[in-house]
Each structure stands twice: as structure tokens, then as C-alpha cells.
Amino acid sequence: MLVAKPGFSLVAGVLLLLGAIPALPGKAAEASKVIIGFHEFPGAAHQELIDSLAGQISHVYTLIPAIAATVPEDALGALQNHPLVAYIEEDAEVTSIDTSYLSMSSPPLDLSAASTEDEYERSWGVRRIGSRSPHAQGITGKEVKIAIIDSGIDYNHEDLDGNYRGGYDFVFDDDDPMDDSFVSHGTNIAGIIAAEKNGIGVVGVAPDASLYALKVLTSFGNADISDVIAALQWAVDNEMDIANISIEGTHSETLKAACDAAYEAGLLIIAAAGNSSGEAVRYPASYDSVVAVTNIDKENNVASSAAIGSEIELSAPGESIYSTARTNSTGYGKLSGTSQAAPHVTGAAALVLSSGTLEDINGDGERDNKDLRLLLQTAVDDLGATGKDELFGFGLVDLEKIFSIHLQRTEPWLSGWQTYNMENKNYSISIQNNSLYAVIVWVSENGVIRRDLSSIHTFRDHRQPPPQQAEFEINALGTSFEVIFIPFGKVGSSADITIN
């Protein structure tokens, strides 16, 4: 009889005698998702190195000298010490910038009764940054290519389908970047940038811009840094003009290098500063090569949820922003945050590009993303401390400071008049007369003529060489006015009106 010793299993002993205990299998080697930086752009030798260590490559970059791969942990030491390798960095996770989900409805209103005017009424941020002035002049973002690096876009949406041009899904590795996020994060951003001016729903800042969806966020709102870098590379390779990013994570040398390289390649990168409630600006918005945008409310206050820091460059509307949602491709809803502020700046940049008026501001012989960035920094309402500050940056983007109104008599009778909407600020108007006899300024509030604000500006010395100038103010604080500028003079006579 077999007697078990203390601490000895009787069953184990029997099996041992019978030779029935198999050898325990070794634990499977752990693997790590990493980004491997090289001293030179990777070629066959670099890929063979990773293959030799049983690594699985996910991205081979041409924007920066790096490869993203999954590598066994016990091989990382050998890889780190290889002469081809400059560094190894964790392929960390980034997330969509947290949003305050307020409401969503489908459809949002009686679309049969909607008009183009209603679109502007429902898009307070689009109005606040002065988008109506360029729209009235036919400047709508045509042929400007915008990459939205986010959760995808509902490209079937009635307010987006005409502007969607394609993209890529880096989550599922295919060319179908449909938005599957619960809060319609990417679709909301797309609508702020370029919802169509079609008489329904909302209108975007640049309603004729070309939208490209680069889906890096899963439906849960997380992404790998390696996919964000791949999206930046796609944007450069496909000659995007602007990239909008509303994603945050920890600092990554590789992501910084990718942003820097994309910016130097001509891509203007605009990113949400982060909803950190007064804490530091998030990455990638805090990189020097990226325009960091914070959000304000209707009273021009920086949202309490916004990040604060010297990296803040511009401010834009971001509270209770009504935009497109992915519900049955006819949905609309409201979101709040710096994620909603950044696309207002992206749309503004698109309008400037489409106008063809961008100058070589920095004097380097090129008219490019760097000049566009400088122009946006000066076309602002300075809301905080004089100059750039940690709350508002340079200030609230104001397209009215860029796009003046060209007023011209086109017919013998009443003609050439232009309408301008003023809302919740004090406006300074300057008329530079070229050859008109007079300009009538007709102001109405809620359909009622404000005779106390309406005026006639005559240029009796019209035979003298131009320009002649008239300057005045219209205070629309706490209300909104419709202002009509009516030219009087010979056919072909004109004036230029600047509104600040």
C-alpha cells in the first residue's frame, strides 16, 4: 500500500508511478506593441531585422524613420542594442477628447420648413467667427482638402454626402471609414467644418470643402499612436491641406516627430487643446508644429472644462454646438468641448485657402501653411489679456478681419447691395471709397428698421483721386442686426468695406 507523506498528493504519487504526469508547457512569450525608430528611413534590412525576432509589422513609415510592430518582450533587448535602431517607444493608447454629450435627435426639426437662414440660426459658432461674410462673397472652401483624424464620418449623412471625398479606416484596415462612435464624434466635427449649405440642418464654416475621413478611433474612443502617425502620413501622401485632430494622450517622441514632419511638408495641423479643466494642454495639441485651440461659450468665456497653458494659440466656439450626428444619416445633436472648437478654426483656414488671397506673410518666398497660421493669429478678437495669453491664446478667430466687402454698382437702378449680419459685439466699420457718390447703411433688428443706427455716407468730393474714407461703429452687444450696404454712383463705381 502506498502511503502519502505529509505535503505529498496521493493522486500525484500514483500518476508519477504510472508515468502519467506530462511536462508542463512553457508560458507563451509576452509581446509588446512598440514603435521602433531608426537612424535612417527603413528599408528591407530593417524589416528583416524585425522579422528575424518574430515581430509582426503593422506600419512602415515614410514620413519619419520608424516602424510600428508587435515584438516579443524577450527580443526587445537585442532590438534596442542593434546598430540600426535609434530608440524603441511604447505604442501607447490615445483617446478622443472627452465631450459633454448633450442631446441628439433624428430628425432635428421639420426639415420641410427649414431654410438656408435656419441653418445659420442653428449654427451659432459659424456665425460668431464671421463665416457669413466670406459665404456672401462666394468663398466657401471649394477645393480645399481636409483630413479629419478621428472616429470616421457618416458619409451618407444628408448634410455631408456632397462633400465627402474618401479616406481610410486604420482600425479595420480598409477604405470604409464609417463613424461608429456612440457620440458621433467624427461626424459632429465634420459638420462643423463643412456641413452643406443646402437649406436643412446646419451649415459648416466651409460648406464646400472636401472632407476625408481618417478613422483611427474605435467605437469606444481609443486609438494607437501608431495609427495616428499613419493617418498623418496618409494626409501628407494624399496632399491634404489641413488636418483636424481631436485626440489626446501622453507625450510621444514619435508622434511629435510625425507632427513636425507633416507640418514641414505643408500640412496645417489643428488640434483640440483638451478638456482638462484648467490643467495642461494635451498632446498632440501642445507640440509647436500644431495649432492648439480652446473653446468659448456664447458670452465669450473660456469653458471651465478647457485646458490652460502657453501652448493655447486660438479660441473658437465650443459650447453646445449643434452639428451632424450619425443617427440614420439624418441625425443632429449637440456636443461641447475643445473638440468642437478646433473644427471652427479648421473651417476658417479652409475659407482663407479657397479665397486665393493668402500672402507670403513670413517672407520666405512661399505662400503655405506657415503663412496661413500667421494670418489666423492676427485675425482675432483679443478677448483676454492684451496679446497672447494662456486662456484665449491670441484670441477668438474672426473672419470679418480677413474678408472685406467689395461694394459695386452693377446696374443703373438699385443694385450691388450687400447684406451683413452683426451679432453680440461692437463693430467698427471702415468704408474705403473708390468712386461711389454715397453708401447707405440700413440697419434692422428683428425685421424692424433701426433709424437711430442707419446712416448715409456721402463722398461729395468723388472727383478727387480715391480713396476716401468713412469710419463709424454699430453696437450689437446683446442683440443681432441685419445690415444692408447700398451703393450709389455710376455703373462700375465701387467701395471696399472692412468690418472689425
Around 269, how many Cα atoms within 13 Å sit in the side-chain half-sphere?
31
Known catalytic residue: 462?
no
**Integer angstrom CA distances of residue 316 from 41, 190, 313, 333:** 38, 16, 10, 19
- Note the maximum CA span of the chain: 129
List, as one string, the DSSP characters of 123-178. -HHHHHTTTHHHHHTT-S-TT-EEEEEES---TT-TTTTTTEEEEEETTTTBS---
Mean pLDDT of 379-390: 92
Distance of CA 499 to the CA centre of its chain: 26
Q: What is the pLDDT of residue 136?
A: 80
Place of cell 520608424: 66
Compute how many other C-beta atoms are within 10 angstroms of the C-beta atom of residue 261: 20
Percent of the chain's residues with pLDDT above 70 = 89
> What is the domain partition of the chain in residue ranges?
31-93, 96-401, 405-499
Q: Please report which confidence band the pLDDT of residue 487 belongs to, taking 50, 70 and 90 as the band edges.
A: very high
Q: Are 433 and 464 in contact (CB under 8 A)?
A: no
Q: Please report which confidence band the pLDDT of residue 285 belongs to, taking 50, 70 and 90 as the band edges.
A: very high
Burial of 102 (0-12, 13-18, 19+ CB in 10 A): middle
Mean pLDDT of 274-303: 94
Catalytic annotation, pick one of 135, 157, 185, 344: 185
At 139-176, the pLDDT tens digits run 999 999 999 999 999 999 999 999 999 999 999 999 99
* Separation CA 62–CA 41 (nearest Å): 7
Query: What's the pTM value of the predicted model, to 2 decimals?
Result: 0.82
Locate 207 and state its grid cell.
460648406
Known catalytic residue: 185?
yes
**Residue 293, strand partner residues:** 272, 314
Q: What is the pLDDT of residue 23?
A: 38
Of residues 466 and 20, the one with the higher pLDDT is 466
Q: What is the pLDDT of residue 91?
A: 97
Q: Are 150 and 217 in contact (CB under 8 A)?
A: yes
Q: What is the pLDDT of residue 43?
A: 97
Q: What is the pLDDT of residue 29?
A: 62
* Separation CA 317–CA 208 (nearest Å): 20
May I ask the CATH architecture of the domain 96-401? 3-Layer(aba) Sandwich (3.40)
Residue 320 has pLDDT above 70, yes or no: yes
Burial of 321 (0-12, 13-18, 19+ CB in 10 A): buried
Q: Please report which confidence band the pLDDT of residue 292 belongs to, taking 50, 70 and 90 as the band edges.
A: very high
* Separation CA 253–CA 250 (nearest Å): 10
CATH 3.40.50 fits 405-499, yes or no: no
Residue 5 has pLDDT above 60, yes or no: no
At 31-47, the pLDDT tens digits run 999 999 999 999 999 99
Q: Please report which confidence band the pLDDT of residue 98 belongs to, taking 50, 70 and 90 as the band edges.
A: low
Q: How high does pLDDT run on average in the chain?
A: 88
**Residue 70, strand partner residues:** 33, 56
CATH class name, domain 31-93 = alpha beta
Mean pLDDT of 202-227: 96
Catalytic annotation, pick one of 118, 123, 135, 150: 150
Q: What is the pLDDT of residue 412?
A: 77
Lowest mean pLDDT among 180-184, 203-207, 328-332, 392-396: 328-332
Catalytic annotation, pick one of 181, 226, 246, 339: 339
Q: What is the pLDDT of residue 225?
A: 97
Q: Are 381 and 461 in contact (CB under 8 A)?
A: no
Q: Are 59 and 237 in contact (CB under 8 A)?
A: no
- The residues near 87 (Cβ < 8 Å, ≥ 6 apart) are 36, 37, 253
Residue 327 has pLDDT above 80, yes or no: no
Q: What is the pLDDT of residue 117?
A: 57
- The residues near 29 (Cβ < 8 Å, ≥ 6 apart) are 72, 73, 74
Lowest mean pLDDT among 98-112, 169-183, 413-427: 98-112
Q: Where are the alpha helices (DSSP H) in 9-147?
A: 10-18, 44-52, 76-80, 116-121, 124-128, 132-136
